[in-house]
Amino acid sequence: MKSLITIKKIQNLLLQGLNTRYVDDETSRRMWWASLEVIQKEFLSHSFQGGGFWVASPLPALTDKKCLNKMKGWLWSPKGFPYFRSDNAGFLPLDHSRKVKEKSNFIGNYKVLNLNAKDGYEPFLIVITTNFQCLLTIAGEKDKKTLLMRCDEKSLKTAIELIDAKLNQENNEESLNFRSAIKNLGDLNINDEFENNFWPSLSIKLASLIPKLSVQNAMKNDDKNEQLTEVKLLQAISHEVRTPLATIRTLISSTLRKYDMDESMRSRLIQIDNECNEQIDRFGLIFNAAELVSNDKSPSNQLARINLGEILFKLDPVWSKQLKRRGIELELDIPKQLPEILSDSEKLELMLRGLIDKNTRGLREGSSLILELRPAGQKLKLQLKVQKFEKGKKEISNKENGSDIGPVLNWNPQTGSLQLSQIATQKLLASLGGHVTKRKDTGLTVFFPIADPNVV
C-alpha cells in the first residue's frame, strides 16, 4: 500500500538538506504575509500574461484579481471550513462548535478539497505560470518555524509530482484536471534570478513595517526623523489591521457561497462583510497617505483619461446604501457629457470613498451630502457640500472639528474617529491630479485637469 501523501510530507521533503533559521509563530506569520505581498506586487503581476495554476492550503493565499480570474486553483481546506479549530492553526479561525453541511465545489475559479488532519495547518502555496514559478510555505513545529521559498526546477518538479499524487489518492477527476492544467502551460521559462531578487525585496518589505528607531535619532531628537518614525509605525499598524480583515472577508465569502442559511444570518454576514470592506478601504487610504508623506520624491503615478461622472454614478448605489444605514441622504448633481479628466481611476475611487467617510462622520440623522460636478475652464470642479441637520432645519456646515496628530491623521474627540489630516488629503489628491480648495460656506472643492481631447 502506497504511503499517504500529505502537505506536511511535501514540506518536510523540501526542507531536507537545507540550513534553516527558525523563528517563533508570530514572526513566521509576518514573514508569510510580507512574502505574499512581495511575490504578487513585485514579481507575479509584472510577469503574468494569463494562464497558469496555483495550489494552496489551508486558505487561498493570492489576492490579485487579475491573476486569480485567469488561473485555475486548488485549495485544500479543513472539513467544515471555516468552522473548525486546531491549536496549530495560527493562520486560521477558531471553531464555532457548529455542524455544517460538507461540500466540495468550485468557489470562484478554484476547487475546494477537504484537508486531512495529517496535512497540518501551516500555509502552503505554489504558483506556476509560463514566466513565473514559486513555492512558498511555512514549515516546522510550534515556535520553531521557517519560511521556505523554492523556485528551482528540481524542487518545483518534485512538489508538482507530489501534489499530483495527493490528488490522485483523493480525487482522480481533479488529478486529471491538474495534469491538463500543466500540459496546457507548455514550456516554462525558469527565472534563475528570482531567488536572488526575492530575499532582498522581502527584507526591504519587512524593514518597512518596523518603525525607524535609532540611537542617533533619539539623541538628536530631530523632528523629521520623529515624523518618519510615526509614519512608519502608522504604515505597520495599517498593514496589520487590513490583513485579518481581508481574511475575514474571504471566510465570509466562502461561507455565503458554500452553506445554506436563513436570511437573517445571511444578512448579518453581509453586514459584517460591508463593515470589513469599509475599514479595509479606510486603512488602505491611510497607508497610501503615510507612504506619500514619508516619501520626499514626487509621486510617480501614471495618470490616464477617465470619466469622473461615470465613476461617481457607479459608486452612488454603494455610498447611498452605506449612508442610508446612518440616516444620511446622498444627492448627485452631475450633468451629462462632461469632459474626461487625467487621474488614476483605482486610487481615485479609494480617495473618493475616504472623502465621503470624512465629510459625513458625526452627522446626525436627517443630514445630507451633495456631490456637484461642473466644468470650470480647463478643469473639472468636484464640490462636496454637507447639509447638517440641526434642530429641525438644515444648514450648510463645513466646520472641521478635531486636531491633527502627526502628519497623516486628524483626531475628532466628539465622534472618536480618526481621519486623514488636511495636509495628507491635499497630498493624496495632488498625486491623483487634483487640487483642493476649502473656503467657508463653499464646502470641499477639488479641481481636476481636463484631458486634452487631441491626445489619445
Omega before residue 82 within 30° of 0, cis: yes
User: How much is the pLDDT for 440?
Assistant: 53
* Out of 45-54, 84-93, 390-399, least confident range: 84-93
**2-11, 308-317, 359-368: segment of lowest average pLDDT:** 359-368
Q: What is the mean pLDDT of residues 162-177?
A: 93
pLDDT tens per residue, range 288-333: 887 777 665 555 567 888 999 999 999 999 889 888 888 899 999 9
SS3 348: helix
Report the percentage of the chain scoring pLDDT > 70: 78
Same domain, yes or no: 193 and 323:
no
- Evaluate if residue 181 carries a pLDDT over 70: yes
pLDDT category, 165, cuts 50, 70, 90?
very high
166 plus 31 within the same structural domain: yes
| Residue 418 counted as domain residue | yes
- pLDDT bucket at 230, cuts 50 / 70 / 90: low
CB 139 within 8 A of CB 122: yes
> Is residue 87 scored above 70 in pLDDT?
no
Output the CA torsion sign for 269, 284, 122, 170.
positive
Let me know if residue 151 belongs to a domain. yes
The CA distance from 262 to 118, in Å, is 34
Tell whether 123 is covered by a domain. Answer: yes
Mean pLDDT, range 428-439, rounded to an integer: 82
Q: How confident is the model at residue 94 (pLDDT cuts 50, 70, 90)?
A: very low
* φ, ψ of residue 20 in degrees (nearest 5): -110, 150
DSSP letter, residue 454? T
**pTM higher than 0.75:** no
pLDDT-derived band of residue 425, with 50, 70 and 90 as boundaries? confident
The answer to whether residue 152 sits within a structural domain is yes
Residue 2 covered by a domain: no
* Shared domain check, 338 and 220: no
Of 58-67, 98-107, 340-349, least confident by mean pLDDT is 98-107
Residues 39 and 102 in one domain: yes
- Per the CB < 8 A criterion, the answer to whether 230 and 294 are in contact is no
- Shared domain check, 346 and 266: no
Do residues 221 and 366 both lie within one domain?
no
Comparing 282-291, 302-311, 400-409, the range with the smallest average pLDDT is: 400-409
Amino acid occupying residue 69: N
Residue 4 confidence (pLDDT): 87
223 and 181 in one domain? no
Quick one: 51 and 200 in the same domain? yes
Final residue in a domain of this structure, among 294, 321, 336 = 294
Task: Please check the confidence at residue 373 and state whether its pLDDT lies above 90.
Answer: yes
Task: Give the CATH number of the domain where residue 361 resides.
Answer: 3.30.565.10
Confidence of residue 160 (pLDDT cuts 50, 70, 90): very high
Residue bearing the bigger pLDDT, 55 or 51: 55
| pLDDT score at 414 | 63
378 and 279 belong to one structural domain:
no
Are 220 and 199 within one domain?
Answer: no
Picking from 246, 266, 294, the residue at the C-terminal end of a domain is 294
Position 186 scores a pLDDT of 82
Q: Specify the number of domains making up the chain.
A: 3
Instruction: Work out the pLDDT band at 221, boundaries 50, 70, 90.
Output: very low
If one compares 234 and 277, the residue with the highest pLDDT of the two is: 277
Share of the chain above pLDDT 90, in %: 18
Question: Does any domain span residue 454?
Answer: no
Sign of the Cα torsion 321, 323, 329, 333 reads negative
* 135: nearest Cα among 295, 311, 7: 7
Q: Where are the extended beta strands (E) located within 283-335?
A: 304-306, 329-333
| Residue 408 located in a structural domain | yes
Could you report how far apart the first and last alpha carbons of the chain are, in Å?
A: 66
455 belongs to a structural domain: no
Last residue of one domain, picked from the residues 294, 323, 358: 294
Binned at pLDDT 50, 70 and 90, residue 79 comes out as low
Q: What is the pLDDT of residue 416?
A: 62
Residue with cell 504604515: 235
CB atoms under 10 Å from CB of 374, counted, come to 13
> How high is the pLDDT of residue 271?
86
Are 85 and 107 part of one and the same domain?
yes
Looking at the structure, tell me whether residues 14 and 137 fall in a common domain: yes
Please give the residue range of the domain that contains residue 251: 215-294
Give the pLDDT confidence score for residue 194 in this predicted structure. Answer: 83
As a whole number, mean pLDDT of residues 273-292 equals 82
Q: Please give the pLDDT value at position 233.
A: 67
**What's the chain's average pLDDT?**
78
pLDDT tens figures, 440-452: 555 688 999 898 7
Mean per-residue pLDDT, 173-201: 86
